[in-house]
Amino acid sequence: MSTLLPQAIRERGDRFSFLTRDLGHYLRAGSSTGHPLLGAANIVTAETNDEAGLLPWLGRLHEVFEFDGVATSCDYYLPTVAAVAAELGLPGPSRAAVAAACDKASTRRICSAAGVPGPEFAIAAQVADLIAAAERIGYPVVVKPLDLCGGMFVRRVNDAEELRAAAADIAGFPVNARGQARAAEMLVEECLNGPEFSVETVTFGGNTTVIGITDKQVIGAPWFIEAGHMFPAALEPELETRIAEVACAAIAALGLDNTVAHTEIKLTASGPRLVEVNPRPAGNRITELVRRVTGIDLAAVCADLALGREPDLRTTSTGVASAAIAFLVPQESGVLADITGAEDWPLDTRIVDYDVAASGKRVQAAQNNNGYLAHVMVVDEKFGAAGDSARALIESLRVGFDRAGVPG
């Protein structure tokens, strides 16, 4: 999204100022043409983790630049952006709604009270309390932090010993990737069994529009690693309606408005049940799958909402009925020697985007969504066909590790 959002803003004919606490991160991460965020009309550095100091400082900056909206490409700053919008009188969802959606404990409490179907759960900071809750809920349970993203430290556990280890891992990561202190409490909840989907929505003026439902492939037990997505999911209309209704109920319960949302749902034997609500466009290139099928650019919609514009959500004929992406998930750790099998991909007309990691990369066996070795995106004119094609292409890859100097 840090690439798609600035691109969408420019394509709309707008300009943006870029505020960051660490400009060096973007200077280092940029390609040969520079990171897209560095194309801002103004680049400003400030301590974005100090909201109390940031808000009055931005108020003074607003007197000079007269901002029309505020947005972010990072999950960890969604509550800050909502606070800035409220302080400066700019469009956007309410501070309370965004804070609740970004805190998994608040989401569970609010949605449960509103009758949105979800897992049985408990929130605690002490391991003894987590174990007591797990015994009440019944193993296996899922343990997760309240305030991380990308599937970090989300783990299925089968007994108290595994729960202690999972809780220790979470507690051992007290600061997130943006230098923000994390909550000490953790969430333990019933393990939901069934396929996973996400509902991509846009809410404007109190009305929520379902753009579509994404089929999500999750692997890597006891972890929950996203290995691929297909849009739209090949669902019967009745199931599609039921899944969408749960997502819309969760959005309404949280009070989210003027926002793009990506809501994850498990389809269990007892029906669709809520996993989480993300008050921003989907990651992992799902927004690109949506655009290729429907013509709707959710990054551009996000920019429109930040400016208070009513988004154009009309679908257009793209000639694509199904789009999918699959990821190569590392199964072991080591130094990457090579990845073979993609040599003919440039000639495959189904493939619209791909990337393969270069040799020499240090690889860790995956426990979350942050360490893929390759991806491939395919499109198909047939409904429901792209997912199998993308998975077959990824499964055809062969990974070699540099064994030099490694015992055994």
φ and ψ at residue 254, rounded to 5 degrees: -75, -15
pLDDT surpassing 60 at residue 89: yes
Q: What dotted CATH number matches 323-408? A: 3.30.470.20
Long-range contact list for 152-161, CB < 8 A, 24+ apart? 152/368, 152/370, 153/367, 153/368, 154/223, 154/224, 154/368, 155/222, 155/223, 155/224, 156/191, 156/221, 156/222, 156/223, 156/224, 157/222, 158/222, 160/131, 160/134, 160/135
pLDDT at 407: 44
Give pLDDT tens digits for 282-330: 999 999 999 999 999 999 999 999 999 999 999 999 999 999 999 999 9
Distance CA 41, CA 291 (A): 27
CATH number for 119-190: choose from 3.30.1310.10, 3.30.70.790, 3.40.50.880, 3.30.1490.20. Answer: 3.30.1490.20
b/e 168-207 (16+ beta carbons within 10 angstroms → b):
eebeeeeebeeeeeebebbbbbbbbeeebbbbbbbbbeee
Distance CA 6, CA 14 (A): 10
Distance CA 51, CA 83 (A): 8
Q: What percent of the chain has pLDDT over 90?
A: 94
Q: Where in the chain is the domain with CATH 3.40.50?
A: 4-93
User: Helices 237-254 and 104-113, interaxial angle, to 10°?
Assistant: 110
CATH number for 4-93: choose from 2.60.40, 3.40.50, 3.30.70, 1.10.3470. Answer: 3.40.50
**388 C-beta neighbours (distance < 10 Å), count:** 15
DSSP assignment of 201-225: EEEETTEEEEEEEEEEEEESTTB-E
Q: Where in the chain is the domain with CATH 3.30.470.20?
A: 323-408
Q: In terms of Cα–Cα distance, which of 376, 375, 371, 285 is closest to 336?
A: 371
pLDDT at 2: 86
DSSP assignment of 54-70: HHHHHHHHHHHH--S--
Mean pLDDT of 78-85: 98
Prediction pTM value = 0.95
Cβ atoms of 114 and 106 within 8 Å: the answer is no
Give pLDDT tens digits for 8-59: 999 989 999 999 999 988 888 656 678 899 999 999 999 999 999 999 999 9
Give pLDDT tens digits for 323-381: 999 999 999 999 999 999 999 999 999 999 999 999 999 999 999 999 999 999 999 99
